[in-house]
Amino acid sequence: MPEQTQILLGPLVGGLSHDHVNLWARASGPATLHAWLGRKPDFSDAKLAGKSLPLNDATGCAGVVPLDNLEPETSYFYALTLNPKPPPKADGHFRTFPRPGQPRAFNFAFGSCFRPQGGNSGATFRALETHRQEDELRFILLLGDQVYADAWEYNGIAKVAANLTDYRNVYTHVWSNPYFRALLNNLPAFMTLDDHEVDDDWRWNDARRRWATIPWWDQVVRWLKGRPPEECYLPLHRVRDALQAYWEHQGMHAPAMTLPPELNYAGQYKLREQDPGSLAYSFTYGAAAFFVMDTRSMRVKGKSGKTMLGEGQWQALEDWLRAVRDDFPLKFLVTSCSALYSMWTDIPRDRWSGFPEERDRLLRFIGGNDIQGVYLLAGDLHSAHAISAECGPRRNPVRIWEFCSTPFEQDTNPLSRWMYIPILSGAVRRQKVHFVVTSNNFGVVRVEFPAQGQPQVRFELHYEDKGEWKEKTAG
Ligand SMILES: [Fe+2]
């Protein structure tokens, strides 16, 4: 290993459970990660707990050290080094989760859409760091647009990412933000991708997944702005490169995918039509179960078909909902794009409202199977909201909520509150918008299990208003 090789991104804490963690980092060159674990804050008891596979160019020198046999509900201090020398201090700490099914009060954060610009970027993560400590946040869900690979004015490479090196360089630029990095040293993260990890509002043109596309207006804007022709279309190899960069930065430290997509000999996703695999995964925190959907890699919209999740992921989701129905009183369905917030001016039709049959399938499945305690967590819209609604039979209704937090830092949509329309298909009733916020924000969810009665779930939306942080609540 050359002397100057160092940790470029991370370390961050992924895939945390009651007994397992994936410690992730990306190095500036070939190396091996060494993970150190201790129980004392001064790290005097730290021991070498594991090593990564050799990091090399196959993964952009990103890697994980998976560690098993941890104690539940226990605080650990950790460090990652690139050599076998014991480090003098910890990089951060984490607390393992309760065993699955154990009712425990806890708080977590979520949000989406980070497009930093200039030296003052990261204010939301700085504010989140304060809450992490005060509210004992157990983890954060990053719901997509963790990078804007196509935002050439902001992404650090001055072009639309067109190959694997470009996509990796965008992550290097965005994730080097010191506040983002510092927060994730100590706040375990679960991530899923939205569109901009690949390109704006992209989708497959047909079920064979051989050719993808971006909206025509993006193509026109890029052409008018004199962007080179290769930035105006989206061939298969570019999607593969983007999804590989996603895997290297967001996927490899996540809990194991429920049914992972097949890989080819180069270690990239095959993306065959018949492959039911997706990037969806699930995890638990005590008596709360989380299913993190992949709303992007299976998405097809064209003459030969139209789907958001794909049938393979649908089976996984429905199996999961049946499995957790009685054993976990709280179910959080994590979806990068909003399901309950429809907009009458939604031209891209890029959210669940563009796939109304599938949206209604989800709502009817929840209502028809009497699945109580469901909370949707969403991002994407560049405005935040809380919505409650009812589905299922009128005599025995199921109440559901959608909490949406977006963006961490991006242009917001000041008109979104005027664009809302309720869902009129009949799949839900008594829809109520509790608030809409159109400035940079993050969400905090507080979960409590009183000795008597139903679990309590409260959504706090923290938002920036003329340099001050304010808060709205629902739930
Ligand atoms: Fe976004």
Write out pLDDT tens, residues 234-247: 999 999 999 999 99
182 contact partners, CB below 8 Å, separation of at least 6: 125, 129
pLDDT band at 120 (very low <50, low <70, confident <90, very high): confident
pLDDT exceeds 70 at position 466? yes
Distance from residue 121's CA to the centre of ligand 1 (Å): 16
pLDDT in tens, 391-425: 999 999 999 999 999 999 999 999 999 999 999 99
pLDDT, average across residues 262-280: 92
Distance from residue 128's CA to the centre of ligand 1 (Å): 19
Question: Residue 223 is encoded by which pair of tokens?
Answer: 């052409």
Q: What percent of the chain has pLDDT over 90?
A: 92
> Range(s) for CATH 3.60.21.70 in the chain?
97-474
Distance from residue 112's CA to the centre of ligand 1 (Å): 7
Distance from residue 98's CA to the centre of ligand 1 (Å): 32
Task: Tell me the average pLDDT of the chain.
Answer: 96
- Report the pLDDT value the prediction gives residue 467, as an integer from 0 to 100: 87
Class in CATH terms, 1-95: mainly beta
- C-alpha to C-alpha distance for 219 and 232, rounded to whole angstroms: 5
pLDDT exceeds 70 at position 168? yes
pLDDT band at 273 (very low <50, low <70, confident <90, very high): confident
- C-alpha to C-alpha distance for 252 and 441, rounded to whole angstroms: 27
Distance from residue 421's CA to the centre of ligand 1 (Å): 21
pLDDT exceeds 90 at position 265? no
pLDDT, average across residues 337-350: 89
Distance from residue 227's CA to the centre of ligand 1 (Å): 21
- C-alpha to C-alpha distance for 381 and 112, rounded to whole angstroms: 9
- Report the pLDDT value the prediction gives residue 3, as an integer from 0 to 100: 66
Distance from residue 298's CA to the centre of ligand 1 (Å): 19
Distance from residue 346's CA to the centre of ligand 1 (Å): 15
Class in CATH terms, 97-474: alpha beta
Among 349, 345, 336, 347, CA closest to 420: 345
- Report the pLDDT value the prediction gives residue 346, as an integer from 0 to 100: 81
140 contact partners, CB below 8 Å, separation of at least 6: 108, 109, 110, 111, 128, 183, 184, 187, 188, 189, 190
SS3 48: strand
pLDDT band at 1 (very low <50, low <70, confident <90, very high): low
Q: Which helix (H) or strand (E) element contains residue 398?
A: strand 398-404
- Report the pLDDT value the prediction gives residue 28, as an integer from 0 to 100: 97
Is this structure's pTM higher than 0.85?
Answer: yes
pLDDT in tens, 122-135: 999 999 999 999 99
Distance from residue 380's CA to the centre of ligand 1 (Å): 5
- C-alpha to C-alpha distance for 438 and 383, rounded to whole angstroms: 5
Distance from residue 382's CA to the centre of ligand 1 (Å): 6
Q: Which of 26-35, 161-170, 274-283, 339-348 has the lowest mean pLDDT?
A: 339-348
> Range(s) for CATH 2.60.40.380 in the chain?
1-95
Distance from residue 270's CA to the centre of ligand 1 (Å): 26
- Report the pLDDT value the prediction gives residue 2, as an integer from 0 to 100: 63
pLDDT exceeds 90 at position 348? no
Distance from residue 470's CA to the centre of ligand 1 (Å): 22
Distance from residue 74's CA to the centre of ligand 1 (Å): 35
Residue type, 31: A
pLDDT exceeds 90 at position 468? yes
pLDDT band at 303 (very low <50, low <70, confident <90, very high): confident
Distance from residue 214's CA to the centre of ligand 1 (Å): 15
* 276 burial via Cβ count (<10 Å: 0-12, 13-18, 19+): middle
Distance from residue 196's CA to the centre of ligand 1 (Å): 7
- Report the pLDDT value the prediction gives residue 453, as an integer from 0 to 100: 86
125 contact partners, CB below 8 Å, separation of at least 6: 177, 179, 180, 182, 183, 408
